């Protein structure tokens, strides 16, 4: 991946604004430790509402701090690949600063949550099918 020489001042300001809220910093701390996460995982592990998790993830996405990918019904978010040397430096510094921030240890729960999602109960599968049919 080619890194561009610089970010514009407005891009840099947008990233700093995205980092100026404690919930977003806690989300990033989780991502640095555990990789990509979906909204429901952020919601559960930080004990926040779905709308609050979505809003903060969208803010980080719009600022270019995280990236997303869709897998079926799920959208996963991860720390963005740096597009510039400035962003690389910012993310490396942020990783170091968030290293000691207290966030839940979700390692054991993350695997079971994802297994449940991949193998939902019949009732959950039916509800998911109804939701996706309404969306179309």
Decide if pLDDT at 130 tops 70.
no
Q: How many CB atoms lie within 10 A of CB 47?
A: 7
Q: How would residue 12 be classed by pLDDT, with cut points 50, 70 and 90?
A: confident
Please tell me the predicted confidence (pLDDT) of residue 7: 81
Domains of the chain are: 9-105 (1.10.10.10)
Q: By the 8 A CB rule, do 111 and 50 touch?
A: no
Secondary structure class of 68 (helix, strand, coil) = strand
3-class DSSP state for residue 3? coil
User: Could you report the per-residue pLDDT of 29-56, keeping only the tens digit for each?
Assistant: 999 998 999 998 999 889 999 999 999 9
Residue 122: per-residue pLDDT = 58
Q: Which position has the token pair 């939701």?
A: 131
* Span 61-102, pLDDT tens digits: 999 999 999 988 889 999 999 988 999 999 999 999 999 888
CB atoms within 10 A of CB 75: 16
Residue ranges of the alpha helices (H) in the chain? 9-18, 22-34, 39-46, 50-62, 85-98, 107-118, 122-135
CB 97 within 8 A of CB 28: no
The pLDDT of residue 135? 46
């Amino acid at each position: 991946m080619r890194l561009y020489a610089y970010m514009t001042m407005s891009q840099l300001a947008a990233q700093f604004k995205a980092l100026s809220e404690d919930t977003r910093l806690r989300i990033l701390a989780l991502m640095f430790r555990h990789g990509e996460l979906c909204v429901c995982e952020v919601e559960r592990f930080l004990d926040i509402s779905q709308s609050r998790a979505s809003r903060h993830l969208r803010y980080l996405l719009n600022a270019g701090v995280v990236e997303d990918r869709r897998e079926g019904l799920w959208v996963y978010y991860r720390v963005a690949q740096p597009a510039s040397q400035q962003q690389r430096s910012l993310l490396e510094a942020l990783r170091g600063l968030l290293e000691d921030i207290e966030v839940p240890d979700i390692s054991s729960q993350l695997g079971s949550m994802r297994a449940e999602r991949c193998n939902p109960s019949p009732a959950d599968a039916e509800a998911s099918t109804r939701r996706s049919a309404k969306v179309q």
